[in-house]
Amino acid sequence: MRKKLYVKTYGCQMNVYDASKMVDVLNAREGAEVVASPEEADIVLFNTCSVREKAQEKVFSDLGRLRALKAARPSLIVGVGGCVASQEGEAIVARAPVVDIVFGPQTLHRLPDLIDERRRSGKPQVDIRFPAIEKFDHLPPARAEGVTAFVSIMEGCSKYCSFCVVPYTRGEEVSRPLEDVLTEVAELAAQGVREVTLLGQNVNAWAGAAPEDMSADFSVLLELVAQIPGIARIRYTTSHPREFSPQLIEAHARIAKLACHVHLPVQAGSDRVLAAMKRGYTALEFKSIVRRLRRACPEISVSSDFIVGFPGETERDFEQTLQLVRDLHIDQSFSFVYSPRPGTPAADLPDPVDRATKLQWLERLQRLLEEQGRGISEAMVGSVQPVLVEGASRRDPAEYSGRTPNHRIVNFPGSSGWVGKIIPVRITRAFPHSLRGEAEAEAA
Ligand code: SAM
Ligand code: F3S
């Protein structure tokens, strides 16, 4: 009988991608089908995040809620994966005995074996190693669901920002070989995918093995992906300012299929704070990247990540962050109050600023980012945007939706034949989280 699988994902895009791979491996081995609630499931997986304390604690309260379910149905398998798993390992089973298996981001391909071993031995199984990039050799071929897809091209992070757990939970940067990435994109394109998002914790640090006669960096990879038949649009996330090379900037001028949008985390606008964060660039260097990008691609929209209330941050430092957001006209972004993470260097720094001040800073920053994002949306009204049509709207089948190059959702009256095509759409209204438009004409 097919096993029923429930996966709950916390945190970043990498986790969303990993969750889809968990489904794929269990589907390939156990014929698992996805269900909508733990109550219906034979296997419940929590794909966790430990970037901030709140996300980490949420997992334990969710696990607590599974106790009654497991008591009523002891054959239920409960697994914890992702970054909390990687950081806590065996301690998860000690704190939450309901857990049967613990696996890390680099061992998710071993899920079926861990489940078998748990059933056979009756003992909890823990595997949170970082066995280089072996994972990708053991995953089933990528399956397309719709016209857009994610392709992981590198994993982990070697930057060791002083506030961040990721290098400890996901391991150092490892890139997939060039040919593996191109093959996966080509396979997805053959299944109807038109837009790929290349994914990595620092995606532009990609340095995968290439055939002997070739030296390939991230900009060369983009060029090659753009040549794959069927691929109409390319995105990538998340990029790091330290590896934002002149070649990558130039790629934005040269590769028409590269979407006019970058997500480039800056974290703060003060050099003092950036140095304490060990980010490896100054505010001026960051501004210079964005200005050169805008020269290469004048329409480009730039979104970012911010941390407010880093230990020792002052009102003056914080205002420099606001100034940077204004100067660079940063679009809708992610921003959070600093959360001390055990084991990271910043967790030991004195932190005199009170929580209320930090929350007030966050509110001011988010208000500014929203205002600017809204301004960008409103300025798009009247323009014609190339929209990749992703599908019909759930609420109204005569309505279709897709995204603009700067990643905004547009809804418009359309037809099923447009799905997968890039259609010129005139923007008629801007809402806080979407745009409304009318197709100009059907594209070829
Ligand atoms: N590689 C990316 C970069 O260039 O910075 C970031 C990846 S990180 C997993 C995603 C975001 O989480 C960061 O950009 C940062 O804003 C946020 N983050 C990481 N550690 C944090 C912490 N201790 N407190 C608050 N936010 C944090
Ligand atoms: Fe974290 Fe900095 Fe890497 S934010 S993921 S250590 S670039």
Q: Which atom of ligand 1 approaches the CA of 344 most closely?
A: 23
Find, among 238, 239, 237, 235, the residue nearest to 403 by Cα: 235
Which token pair is 217?
């960096």
| Residue 99 in this model has a pLDDT that exceeds 90 | yes
Residue pLDDT, tens place only, 334-343: 999 999 999 9
pLDDT at residue 47 in the model: 95
Environment class of 342 (CB within 10 Å of its CB; exposed 0-12, middle 13-18, buried 19+): exposed
Percent of the chain topping pLDDT 90: 87
| Residue 18 in this model has a pLDDT that exceeds 70 | yes
* Confidence class for position 444, pLDDT limits 50, 70, 90: very low
Residue pLDDT, tens place only, 143-194: 888 999 999 999 999 999 999 999 999 999 999 999 999 999 999 999 999 9
pLDDT at residue 56 in the model: 84
Residue pLDDT, tens place only, 375-433: 999 999 999 999 999 999 878 888 999 999 999 999 999 999 999 999 999 999 999 99
Tell me the pTM.
0.93
- The answer to whether the CB of 408 is under 6 A from ligand 1 is no
Residue pLDDT, tens place only, 33-51: 999 999 999 999 999 999 9
pLDDT at residue 132 in the model: 66
| Residue 365 in this model has a pLDDT that exceeds 50 | yes
- The answer to whether the CB of 265 is under 6 A from ligand 1 is yes
Provide mean pLDDT across the span 206-227: 92
Contacts of residue 133, Cβ cutoff 8 Å, sequence gap at least 6: 155, 174, 175, 176
Q: Which atom of ligand 2 approaches the CA of 240 most closely?
A: 7
| Residue 281 in this model has a pLDDT that exceeds 50 | yes
Residue pLDDT, tens place only, 309-343: 999 999 999 999 999 999 999 999 999 999 999 99
- The answer to whether the CB of 341 is under 6 A from ligand 1 is yes
- The answer to whether the CB of 109 is under 6 A from ligand 1 is no
Question: Which amino acids bring their CB within 6 angstroms of ligand 2?
Answer: 157, 159-161, 164, 166-167, 201-202, 240
- String of DSSP letters for 88-143: HTHHHHHH-TT--EEE-TTSGGGHHHHHHHHHHH-S-EEE----TTHHHHTSPPP-
